[in-house]
Chain A
């Protein structure tokens, strides 16, 4: 396929995302205190659950995750490295404790309390503790899980993504958390990267940056968790060698984020250029969040099983309560 022909199939979806993003800017500009990124998710969810995404728009709308990841790479330009290095060890410690402890807790709750069996507890644990749906799919591949188990766990994670996207910013406001506290709390406790960033930016730009950076640290542990699961389930299926698996599951855009942060902090780019890169990042986030809203399917969420919802809910409440106490104490 030629470049022009390949690009043409993406035009309707990209136009839909751009239309939603423009509408979000207009609505947020008209209402005081409303964040365009939050409106973008709302606009997408409204369209997705009423008229739906037209068939012709599907390829373009599917680019939303690429926009999100590119927006995160460019977010590196807004990062003040000294500030993050100062808080780094504390945040990294929190992330490792939340992922390690969260995985064990989720497995215990799902198997012991809710009597779920097979690979479902591990898929739910991975989705809740690392990076949402992408972790469910990655760990599902490692464990050779059935397609229906992966779909079930992914739908459960998506349900919580939608609920926490609304609940966390409200809770953060109510609890009177600072931008840094809220960002790290959301980054440690919530599930998928898009909703974490959206919730962070719904609180404040500072919270958005901390939420994204904290979530990236969590995502980078996916490879390690995949290796740990493949070792724990060795009898079940053949797996890739450890290092190859670690690299395969490592989110490569994280390297771009670090590279852009290094360039921005080297002093090579002028403040005007950095501000412009920040605007490109904001625009990409807005497009991505319209797509995130479009992917929220309220009808499908009603079909998620009660035991899985119960297990993930207990896990979320326990992890977010512990993480809240930790960020208030440490940050």
Chain B
């Protein structure tokens, strides 16, 4: 697949992300932030 901008190939990641309902996107981002904090805690940052 080729996108309309600069002839770059479509990224499956971008396609999947944009196809998601906004509620699922928010859920994923929120849990991602919590996961980063949990990892930071294990690494001794917090």
Contacts and interface: CB of A to CB of B under 8 A. Distances in A.
Interface in A1-52: 1-3, 5-6
A256 B34 CA distance: 11
Interface string A264-296: 000011101100110010000000000000000
By secondary structure, the B interface counts as: helix
Interface in B20-46: 21-31, 33-34, 37-38, 40-41, 46
A167 B40 CA distance: 42
Given A69-B26, A268-B38, A280 B8 contact: no
A270 B41 contact: yes
A255 interface: yes
Q: Which of A70, A74, A277 has the most CB of B within 10 A?
A: A70
Contacts of B11: 1-3, 6
Given A1-B10, A252-B21, A276-B46, A66 B37 contact: no
Contact of A1 (B8, B22, B26, B38): B8
A76 B25 CA distance: 16
B37 A277 contact: yes
Interface residues of A, number: 33
A73 B37 contact: no
A106 to B, nearest CB: 25
By secondary structure, the A interface counts as: helix
A273 B46 contact: yes
A255 B27 contact: yes
B46 A66 contact: no
Contact of A260 (B6, B9, B10, B34): B34
B5 to A, nearest CB: 5
A260 to B, nearest CB: 6
B5 A1 contact: yes
B19 interface: no
B3 A66 contact: no
Interface of A: 1-3, 5-6, 65-66, 69-70, 72-74, 76-77, 250-257, 259-260, 263, 268-270, 272-273, 276-277, 280
12 contacts: A2-B3, A2-B10, A66-B22, A66-B26, A70-B30, A74-B34, A252-B27, A253-B30, A257-B30, A260-B34, A276-B40, A277-B33
Given A73-B29, A252-B27, 12 more contacts: A1-B8, A2-B10, A70-B25, A70-B26, A73-B31, A74-B30, A76-B30, A252-B26, A253-B23, A253-B26, A260-B30, A277-B34
Interface of B: 3, 5-6, 8-11, 13-14, 18, 21-31, 33-34, 37-38, 40-41, 46
